[in-house]
Structure 1
Amino acid sequence: MDHNTRATAFHALHHADTILLLANAWDAGSALVMQSLGVPALATSSAAVAWAHGEGDGHHLPVAQLLATVSEITAKLKVPLTVDMEGGYSDDPQTVGDNVAAIVGAGAVGINIEDGRDTPELLCRKIEQARAAAERQGLRLFINARCDVYLKGLVAPELRVEETLRRARLYAEAGADGLFAAGARAPADIAAICAGTKLPVNLLALPGLPLAPELARLGVRRLSAGSGIAEALYARMAELTRGFLQTGDGTAFAAQAMSWSELNGLMH
């Protein structure tokens, strides 16, 4: 599947009959394990990629390391990849456009880009530059605009739906293809957001969120694991290491583990 075919396929997944469940990888190995389970597409998690390089989330990962990671993943994948770019790794929209061009060159067909605590107008300018950069390379990039109204509590609870939809209109006009209402959990809010925008709505899998079938009924088109899988695995790694350091017993390593041969067979 070539680059443009993957991009077309990724766009179509947001308008299919079923909700798109996106697992978030952080390197080529984790991506290959996830791909082996039959996923139609994959995403990266900015936090998980940063942690894998010993960096913190929040624009700390050097862009060169992100590009290397994306290139390593896309070289192995047979499915579309969308990349979490945080805020584009710059406050300058032109630089964000340059970063997006490099991400597209590394094989990605989609991006997440967030407003955070910055103004929505700044994200609009970043989206415009991202769209222009991708078009110069002949790619219909899927731009998922992450609105942090819920995740960062940017307005009072009773104003969150209204503010999210206001930003959705701005981001759509700037060229966004999707709206990531990260942090929204209440069914009534979710339904109102989905009904109030033409953009496919993406949510973040969090405790207390309705399950995928109910989210689909409410109008959600995409659900992301975010950094949740990586967080759970790091906790398990700490637990296993702690046990080993206490007793030297390797019995726990085999519990709920993939075998050496199974893992090695996936890495091709």
Structure 2
Amino acid sequence: MASSDIAAILENSKELDRLRKDQEEILLEINKLHKKLQTTPEVVEKPGDNSLARLKVLYTQAKDLSDSEANISNLLISQLDAVLPPGPQGQPRRRIGKVCVTEGNEQRRKRVKTESDISRLTPSMRNQLEACAGLKGEQVAARVTPRNAEKDEWFVVKVIHFDKETKEFEVLDEEPGDDEDSSGQRQYKLPMGNIIPFPKSNDLSSAPDFPPGKHVLAVYPGTTALYKATVVHGHRKRKTDDYVLEFDDDEEDGSLPQRTVPFHKVVPMPEGHRP
């Protein structure tokens, strides 16, 4: 192995370490802004405030650093592949999640779920976890499988807790349907992919401007269940806080009635969803 090869690997390792330190600094700034906006959201209404513009800049920097980290990591892998001898190295490995672990290595497997592993996530992934943790106490749209149900359904639930290690939400269905086994509230543990946050009820700008004909999931009036619907009028065009929707399978007298739904009870149709 040439000394120049080792020097190049060490140099890229130093660059990788520098990128991670820069990411940590950006993340700290992002978290400070998040806290500021959560505690005093009205600050964005003040003339001259640049909180949102600053947040956008920080997210852009975080993405650029994350992309650079991925490029350097791929380069290091290529450099190591070039200098390592062919053939199997060490014990057989198997993949758990996104981390390769040695067969039978219990300590390594447990370490996958520790805070030290979380700290090595890219800024975008850490920000996603922080955003999920910030949903505690909020109502969200959740895909669940109720007892005795043949398929998944979407309900309005309240977030009780988000576990950053398992990436699972603990949620409460506060108003279970009449077909449930009991009239009491029900709790579920759901993965991140089963949760969609609603737009903030006090922030109309947080709601997407769905065009007419767009398919969405929306809370059917008078219920806590979400169903597939088609946008007839978006809230911005009508200059109101509501959408006008037509729900699938809501036929009355041979036609679909148009129903008004508040903007904070409508979410995008999940990719690949089949209601």
TM-score interval for Structure 1 and Structure 2 normalised by the shorter chain? under 0.3
Larger Rg: 2
Structure with more strand by fraction? 2
- Between the two structures, name the one with larger relative contact order (CA 8 Å, sep ≥ 6): 1
- Provide TM-score, normalisation by structure 1: 0.25
